[in-house]
Structure 1
Amino acid sequence: MSDTRRPEPPYPKQEQAPPGVTPKMDPPPDHGEHSYRGNGRLEGKIALITGGDSGIGRAIAIAFAREGADVAISYLQEHRDAEDTARLIEEAGRKALTIPGDVSKEDHCAGVVAKVVEELGGIDILVNNAAFQRTYADIADITAEEWDTTFRTNIYAPFFLSKAAIPHMKPGSSIINTTSIQSKQPSPQLLAYASTKGAILNFTAGLSAMVADKGIRVNAVAPGPIWTPLIPSTMPQEKVENFGKQTALGRAGQPAELAGAYVLLASDLGSYMTGAVIPVTGGEMMI
């Protein structure tokens, strides 16, 4: 049965220009604004979340702040969404830092980490969550430039950011990558995006082993279909209308429903987890 926080399809027809913004979504996503309750699991920690202005990133930011962390969010140019997320962080009594710019560029990524360290005093948690996607029916329609943009945003950026952050991380720190069910069940129309999500799985596994002796844990969360601005701004309207209907739960997931997985991996609750992938897929199997 549907409820106001977890509505079932069909969803209203809608379309946005990429990358999309939260206020135009119908129904509005649930990021845990009214439901997430913290337990001090990240007290005194400093977190950086890419793509933290909206969607999954906003839900993570709310949860981390309510668990006691100061939170920096990087985002492309969606200033209103970023301001709304920063306000929610500050309402939880924590420091918020917003950093706009393109994470596909290495110098920007290095600058983001440097700013977080300078203004917040360090970095304990890095969440590589920013993503770029577009849908195409024919490989001939995908330009080399767009393929490059997808890879630079989705897999180069986690490399750039991890490389910059690790020298500042103490034992007990955590890197969390956002992969996708697309890494195991690629949709043909999301060829470039799905390819990067498969690469993120291997990046997570390899990096986790590389930094284990530093006491840094590296894990990933694999969402299924989640109701974020990326959906109405990058998918055909008929796909948007029935988004998530194919899952066992019969609906798209809400960003708030992923927050707990990131808190687990960022906190001492997940202290014996590294190289792991947590699927949050509404019942779709990660095979």
Structure 2
Amino acid sequence: MKTREDKIYDTIGHVIMTILSLVAIIPILLMLVSSATDNNALLQNGYSFFPEKWSLFAYEWIFSSNSAVVLRAYGMSFVLTGSGVTISLIITTLLAYGLSKKDLPFRGALTFMVFFTMLFNGGLVSTYINYTRVFHVKDTFAGLLVPGLLMNAFNVLLMKSYFVTGVPDEILEAAYIDGAGEFQTMYAVALPMAKPIIATIGMFVGISYWNDWNNGFIYLVKNTDLYSIQNLLNRLMQNIQALSQNASNLSDASQGLAQIPTATVRMAMATLGILPIVIIYPFIQKNFVKGITLGGVKG
């Protein structure tokens, strides 16, 4: 039976979580409503949850003028995210599992080397020169895949800690006694018990790849066919801003700008950018509440 203090604690916790949830949800709802608002009504009355006039012209403009490009960018984002998550999880899991072994030679030094990369890096200029002149990733798919995203020291240390605390040594030793090798033990015993952390890190990496536009901005100079949806939306926004700045000087630009829903198209682009993540997340979220281990340890 809950005490009075427990009830007060639960009530305060629920109130705080409700407020935090509303702080996160309300801007997203406002973005969705604004993207479906008439552009002139939005400019005249400002942002509102109850607009005077609804309109999907912003979405129509994006897909009618750039439908093939948008679909290709979406496809590139899915390919990039899927490839990045798969390769990143393989590298992260192998490294983290190795570092979790207490008998690994130079384990402390190797762990420190991974941790060191969280504190220091080579800087933007040297990183760019290294990737473009040594690895030649400019205008290639690798330019989107590798720099800054494929390997994350925090994810490695997070998974290492999980292998140490969440996978009992007794179960691993039982597998060794039964004749399993190191790779077989990792694949058949450790990885099934580590599904929650794998799903968590996979989500982190997936969101990073899906939302990334920096790599495309830096490393894609001529090959715009490799643009992800974020790079494409960023380019569209730059084009709209260029038209806005030159509208007073060029009559053609002024006429073209008048046909663009400049205010609502920003909200529509943001909606298109986050929509796949919002749809996929509920299917991934169940892994966060699953049990940690799939077996028991005898005393």
TM-score (norm 2): 0.22
Higher strand share: 1
Of the two, which has the highest radius of gyration?
2
Highest RCO, 1 vs 2 (Cα 8 Å, sep ≥ 6): 2
